[in-house]
Amino acid sequence: MESLTDDLWTTVLARLPIKSFTCFKLVCKQWKSILESPFFRNLFMSVHQNSPSSSWSLMYYSMTADMVADYECDTWGLNRPLDSFIKSLLFDKYDKHKNRHFNVVAYSDAGLILIHTESTDMEKGVLYLANPVSRECVEIFLDPRPIGIEMNKYCWEWGLVTRTEQGHLLGYKVVAFHKKWNDTELSCLIYSSETGMSSLETSVVNYNISLHSISLNGNLHWLALNNDNQEVVLSMDFYATGRGSNRCRVSPFPDLEKTTKFKRTCTPCQGFLMYMNITKLAGSLEDKLCVWRLRSEGWQLISKTSPGSILAGFDYLPMTIDPFDAKTAYFWSTEQESLLYINLHNGKFVIHNQFEHTSDGHIMISLNDPRAMVSVKSPIIINHIIKQAYFLPFVLPQWLHRIP
C-alpha cells in the first residue's frame, strides 16, 4: 500500500460510494488529504456522472422520520432506506435520553436534519443538527432568554436553511418561527453557524401560512392564503441583505383562475421550487399535465403533456417529482394500489402493481436503471396517509458535506 502514489489512490477511491469516505478519512493522513482535495471531488463527480444522481426519500410530516417512498442508488452506497439511518442515529446517539421524545423537525437541501428533544420537568429541550448517513452531529444552542422570549409559551415551528458555494457547505441557519392565527406578524428566532448567536426578527406577513416549510437555497417556502383566500407561495430568504419584510416574496400560483385536479403542493427539484397539476391552459381544448418552476421573475411553465385517461380519469394522486432529473413524476393510486411514474416531457408512463415484498413490510420496485431501486411503504399504510399527508423529499447531496 505504501508504494502506491496519490494519483493511483485517487483513481481507486473515486470509484467507491460516498458513505465510505467518512471512514476512509480515518485511515491515514494521505487518504484524508486526498479525499478533501477539490481534484478528488471533481474526479468523483466525473466517474459517477452516468449514475443516478443521489438517493432521496419522500418523507411525510408526521415528524417521526417516517418515509413513504425511498429512491436508492449506488452513489452513496446505502443498504437501507434513509428513514432507517435517521432512526438508528436517534437510538444510538441518544440512548442516555431514552425517556425523552425525539422529533425530526426540519430537513435541509444539503442532506442535514434538525432534531428536537422535548423538555422535561428537570431539563430543557435540546436541538441537534445531524447528517444521518455520516452520523456527524452537533448541538445547537438556540437560547431565547436573552431576547425576552420563553420558548415553551409559544407554538414554534422549525426551519433549517443552508449556504453552499461550488458544492461546499459554508454555513447554516436554524429558524424557529411563530405566527398566531389571523396575526400579521411572523416572528423568527434565528441561530447562525457563522456567528454562533441567536437573533429575533419580525416580519409583517398578511397571510395565513401552513405549518411546514420547504428549505431550498437559503430560503424557506410556505404554502399560504392571502386575504382573498387565494393560494400563494410565501418565500423568505434568510441570507438576503436587509431584515424582516425585506426578505419576503409572495408568488401566487400560476393557475389560480383555473380548475385543477390535485390539491396544490410544491416540491424542490434541481435547485428550484416546482409545482405540477392537471388543468386547461389558455387556448387549449384539452387538459394538460403542466409543470412550473419558480424563478426570480415568477413561475415558468417548463412542460405540458396530455395526461390521458390514466391520470385524468382514475384516482392517481401526485407524490413528487424526481428531485434530480426534473422529468419523472410519481403518482399513487389508492384504488388500484399501484405506483405510476410518468415522463413529463413525452407523457410516457409505467404502472407498477406487481410488487416484491420485503421482510420489513416494504415493497420493492426495480427501475429501468439497474443501479437504482424504489422502495415504498406497504399499500395499506400509503392508502391511509396519502390523501391527507404533506410530502417533502429528503435529498442527499451529490457530495459529503461536513457540518461547519
pLDDT at position 245, please?
Answer: 61
Closest C-alpha to 130, from 75, 89, 100, 164: 89
pLDDT at position 155, please?
Answer: 58
Helix 38-47 and helix 6-13, axial crossing angle in degrees, nearest 10: 40
Low-confidence ranges of the chain (pLDDT < 70): 1-2, 61-65, 93-100, 118-125, 143-155, 179-184, 211, 242-245, 312-314, 357-361, 367-371, 378-381, 383-389
pLDDT at position 218, please?
Answer: 93
What tens digit of pLDDT does each residue of 253-282 get?
999 988 888 889 899 999 999 999 998 887
Q: How far apart are CA 269 and CA 275, in angstroms?
A: 10
pLDDT at position 254, please?
Answer: 94
CB atoms within 10 A of CB 347: 17
CB atoms within 10 A of CB 313: 9
| Strand, helix or coil for residue 308 | helix
The answer to whether 80 and 70 are in contact (CB under 8 A) is no
pLDDT at position 360, please?
Answer: 65
**Cα separation values, 37 from 28, 53, 223, Å:** 15, 21, 40
pLDDT at position 392, please?
Answer: 82
pLDDT at position 292, please?
Answer: 96
Q: Which amino acid is at 300?
A: Q
For the domain made up of 1-50, give the CATH fold.
Monooxygenase (1.20.1280)
